[in-house]
Amino acid sequence: LTGVPREHRAYQYLLAHAIPGDPRHVLQTFDRWCYHCEHLSCWVPRRVLSRAGRIVERLLAERAPLRVLELGTYCGYGTVLLAQGLLPGARLYTVEGNPQHAAVAEKVIRLAGFDEQMVELIVGSSEEVIPRLREKHGLSKADFVFMDHWKRCYLRDLRLLESHQLLAQGAVILADNVLFPGAPHFLQYAKTCGRYRCRVHRASLEY
């Protein structure tokens, strides 16, 4: 009725209630909006840290990656969650194909206190962005990849990362929602190609 997209309404709520520069409070405020106002697919709620959230935090703590790639920024919720778990000097590259969502995500990321030196938001389809990550954005190899974009693109983009030699030795690839709504071809490839040790973690839907 207002003509304002719900992602923008969520950001307006963040501006009014979140503490700038405090990523945990930004995420908690996002959760309050999604629980009580409008649902957004913001990956994993932090009110009661989900199993998926614990997996991410554990992997970041164990691996201490210096170069992280996120495919599917949406409103920046997962980006903030990833960025707050990184060590000083680490860099996160996040790719979003929808310019309207990217505009909101940019504001959310900066509101949480992460500058462009730590988090670079790249607007464009993953199919177009991945081949130029090294030349245009300076990402030689990723230590940690988080996939949460179109499920039908998971396998294609994994193969692109492989063919452009963008995966560091021992890199972690974390893909959300491979069972529901599902990415069966990606899952089959990861299990059978012989390049990866594959583990499926079961988690609940957000909110």
- Which position among 7, 70, 151, 157 bears the catalytic label? 151
Catalytic annotation on 176?
Answer: yes
Catalytic annotation on 177?
Answer: yes
- Which position among 31, 70, 106, 206 bears the catalytic label? 206
What are the pLDDT digits (tens) for 31-40?
888 887 776 6
CATH class of 43-193: alpha beta
What separation in angstroms does the CA of 169 have from each of 88, 131, 195?
21, 19, 11
Tokens of 37: 């106002």
> Under DSSP, is residue 93 helix (H, G, I), strand (E, B) or coil?
strand
Peptide bond into 181 cis (omega under 30): yes
pLDDT score of 56: 86
The mean per-residue pLDDT over the stretch 182-198 comes to: 95
pLDDT score of 207: 53
- Which position among 7, 70, 96, 148 bears the catalytic label? 148
The mean per-residue pLDDT over the stretch 156-174 comes to: 97
Catalytic annotation on 98?
Answer: no
For the chain, the domains span 43-193
The mean per-residue pLDDT over the stretch 153-166 comes to: 98
Tokens of 10: 């969520």
Alpha helices in the chain (DSSP H): 6-17, 23-36, 51-63, 77-83, 99-111, 126-129, 133-137, 154-163, 184-192
Catalytic annotation on 106?
Answer: no
Is the pLDDT at 45 greater than 50, yes or no? no
> Residue 203: which pLDDT band, with cuts at 50, 70 and 90?
confident
pLDDT score of 36: 78
Catalytic annotation on 151?
Answer: yes
Let me know: does 82 contact 119? Beta carbons within 8 Å: no
> Residue 47: which pLDDT band, with cuts at 50, 70 and 90?
very low
> Residue 206: which pLDDT band, with cuts at 50, 70 and 90?
low
Kindly list the strands in the beta sheet with 167-175, ordered across the sheet, starting from the edge strand earlier in the chain.
Answer: 119-123, 91-96, 67-71, 142-147, 167-175
Q: Which residues pair with 123 in a beta bridge?
A: 96
Nearest to 77 by CA among 110, 49, 51, 44: 44
What are the pLDDT digits (tens) for 90-142?
999 999 999 999 999 999 999 999 999 999 999 999 999 999 999 999 999 99
Question: To 10 degrees, the CA torsion angle through 133, 139, 143, 145?
Answer: -30
